Amino acid sequence: MVKDISTLMGYRKDIRVVDATLRDGGLVNDFYFTDDFVRALYQTNVKAGVDYMEFGYKASKEMFDVDKFGKWKFCNDDDIREIVGDNNTDLKISVMADVGRCDYKTDIIDKKDSPIDLIRVATYLNTIPTAVDMIEDASNKGYSTSCNIMAISNGQEEDIKVALDILGQTPVDIFYIVDSYGALYPEQIARIADLYLNFAAKFGKKVGIHAHNNQQLAFANTIEAVGDGVDWLDGTYLAMGRGAGNCAMELLLGFLRNPKYNVYPAIKFVEQYMSKLKDEGIVWGYDLQYLMTGLLNQHPRTAIQFTKDGRTDYSEFYKEVVAHD
Amino acid sequence: MVKDISTLMGYRKDIRVVDATLRDGGLVNDFYFTDDFVRALYQTNVKAGVDYMEFGYKASKEMFDVDKFGKWKFCNDDDIREIVGDNNTDLKISVMADVGRCDYKTDIIDKKDSPIDLIRVATYLNTIPTAVDMIEDASNKGYSTSCNIMAISNGQEEDIKVALDILGQTPVDIFYIVDSYGALYPEQIARIADLYLNFAAKFGKKVGIHAHNNQQLAFANTIEAVGDGVDWLDGTYLAMGRGAGNCAMELLLGFLRNPKYNVYPAIKFVEQYMSKLKDEGIVWGYDLQYLMTGLLNQHPRTAIQFTKDGRTDYSEFYKEVVAHD
């Protein structure tokens, strides 16, 4: 039951930290980050030793009005280039591509012409075939790829196994555990990590985790996963992300033992940039409405609406979300 | 490595939930809770199925000016009686008695004349002999007792073993794991729980946990401990407690599977009473200054001062707390 003590003193060189602030945080402010913010974030990630910075989504401009969102919902290669130049750093760049909401055949260009290194394909269990097509498309264009299977806390274990078996036979590099609803406890993460790691070992893949903080477990679930052998870890500064937010980058960098990671630039960035977003009235993070949807293993959309409506009648909301009629 | 799945579906009847809102929360507002608040808290605990309600400290009136604190720093039996009457409920009552800050021989009266059921003796490792004297005194007067060994993240394992061996030979009922600095990770909690449970088994005692939220791990560490076999669990509503606060009662009640526990009254109480305290400007809970002292395994007093001073220069604070000169 007690894990090898070395996991808290030593470190695994294979660990990769992914900053998802612009991408998951963009869901909170419709991706309206200033260029100054994005540049400072980029510099912070470089200084902090973060391995990947996710700039946002490659969202379809057919489906979404470019005038109604900040540019990081679309992540034009030129916009990224504007921030990173030739990106002569150790920091690599990722974007997320949602199944059914991305014109990947046209909008994702050849890697040799793009500043992007990694395409993270986000899918539900019932859209795996399209995810496979997206992975193959991106891989053929020269990118590394991950597959982030969302909402697995509502999925059947047998379906997850079938999905991992299908994905194992693609060029995808990383299977991502995604606790979309913030519903999972560390014990469950341990079991899921075990399942993912078995398939990963069979097919020569890596495993990652993206957690949500509905039950104040995003960091705990992430470090549970580290202890279990999961290598790719998502974090966001000040835990900025949809609803209850994510695993806080500053907690994660404080925890990791590899000397390449530095928590000080993260603290500085939170102080100078993230606190300001909060002061400007952008709302995210743990609150009781998110606890409730997490506890009930529901999509947080009702809790997000509760927040947007400025409601504080938690007990009424509880009655709404437990109602099955 | 993966724990028995039953721990998330079934439940252990031996689990006891202790509400420490007045006691640890009182450290934030100098124990100035209104009678209305305390009555509503009592009723909430009864309805929520909470097992124990801690009313506060039995602090020495020689050492502390009764005019400078609310009454729950002193917990006169009459003041408790004023709230609970004859306490004809399943909820039991505890108070905390600090080694060196409690006139226990005079201020703790015979159990038969008191509404209090449990005396929780709080001690550091270097004051165990006095803790033993307090435990024996309270036990002779008819009370159940626990011993809460504070700041163990700074203690030597050998000293903790000696302490548990000494305490095992007293009438104390519960050994409490106390993460005073919010410095411990779940893996460490697992190891410490293992140590405490071995001594507890030898001497026929129970084990409890009191966590702090410096690294957003108070709830995670508490449920880790549950999975390891720890039965006594401290929580506070809206996690109110010194510095970064504690394990949130609403998270804990949502997690526990015993049908005797109900989360709804907890949600209602947070909505009606706890949110108001926050609105009134009483400050507690996770913030970066607490992350830093937790990470560095330091007493949170510097972080509390940072908070009181209204500072937000986290990066300067970081430089202060890492300085060893």
Q: Which of B1, B220, B223 sits opposite A190 (nearest CB)?
A: B1
- Closest C-alpha to B295, from A11, A270, A250: A250
The helix/strand count (H/E) of chain A reads as 15, 8
- The CA R_g of chain B, rounded to the nearest whole Å, is 19
Whether the CB-CB separation of B57 and B72 falls below 8 Å is answered with yes
Entry field: residues in chain B: 325
- Tell me the residues of chain A between 136 and 195 that have a Cβ less than 8 Å away from chain B: 185-188, 190-191, 194
Superfamily name and number for A6-279: Aldolase class I (3.20.20.70)
- The answer to whether the CB atoms of B191 and A5 lie below 8 A apart is yes
**Angle, CA of B59, B60 and B61, to the nearest 5°:** 115
Which of left, alpha, beta for A81 (phi over 0: left; psi -120 to 50: alpha)?
A: alpha
Cβ neighbours of residue A306 closer than 8 Å, sequence gap 6 or more: A289, A317
- Closest C-alpha to B224, from B261, B181, B177, B180: B177
- The answer to whether the CB atoms of B218 and A216 lie below 8 A apart is yes
What tokens appear for B144 in the block? 């159940």
What tokens appear for A109 in the block? 């260009």
Residue A170, phi then psi, degrees to nearest 5: -100, 175
- The answer to whether the CB atoms of B315 and A250 lie below 8 A apart is no
**Angle, CA of B264, B270 and B275, to the nearest 5°:** 155
Whether the CB-CB separation of A131 and A98 falls below 8 Å is answered with no
- Closest C-alpha to B22, from B38, B6, B7, B45: B38
Cα distances from A110 to residues A77, B80, B173, B194, in angstroms, run 11, 73, 68, 54
The β-bridge relationship of strands A92-98 and A16-19 is: unpaired
Whether pLDDT at A2 is above 60: no
- Tell me the residues of chain A between 243 and 282 that have a Cβ less than 8 Å away from chain B: 248, 250-251, 254-255, 263-264, 267-268, 270-271, 275
**Residue of higher predicted confidence among B82 and A11:** B82
Task: Per residue of chain B (325 residues), give pLDDT as tens.
Answer: 445 555 677 889 999 999 999 999 999 999 999 999 999 999 999 999 999 999 999 999 999 999 999 999 999 999 999 999 999 999 999 999 999 999 999 999 999 999 999 999 999 999 999 999 999 999 999 999 999 999 999 999 999 999 999 999 999 999 999 999 999 999 999 999 999 999 999 999 999 999 999 999 999 999 999 999 999 999 999 999 999 999 999 999 999 999 999 999 999 999 999 999 999 999 999 999 999 999 999 999 999 999 999 999 999 999 999 986 6
What tokens appear for A277 in the block? 């977003």
Has this prediction a pTM greater than 0.90? yes
Entry field: residues in chain A: 325
Q: B145 - beta bridge partners? A: B119
- Give the class (CATH, top level) of B12-279: alpha beta
Residue B219, phi then psi, degrees to nearest 5: -70, -45
- The answer to whether the CB atoms of A271 and B314 lie below 8 A apart is yes
* Residue A1 C-alpha from the chain's centroid: 29
Q: Which residues of A fall within a CB distance of 8 Å from B277?
A: none
* DSSP code per residue over A61-118: TTTS-GGGS-GGGT--HHHHHHHHTT--SS-EEEEEEETTS--HHHHS--GGG-S--E
* Domain positions in chain B: 12-279, 288-322
Whether pLDDT at A4 is above 80: no
What tokens appear for B259 in the block? 């049908």
pLDDT of residue B10: 81
Cβ neighbours of residue A239 closer than 8 Å, sequence gap 6 or more: A213, A218, A245, A246, A247, A248, A249, A284, A285
| Torsion angle (degrees, nearest 10) of CA A313, A318, A320, A322 | 180
Whether pLDDT at A1 is above 90: no
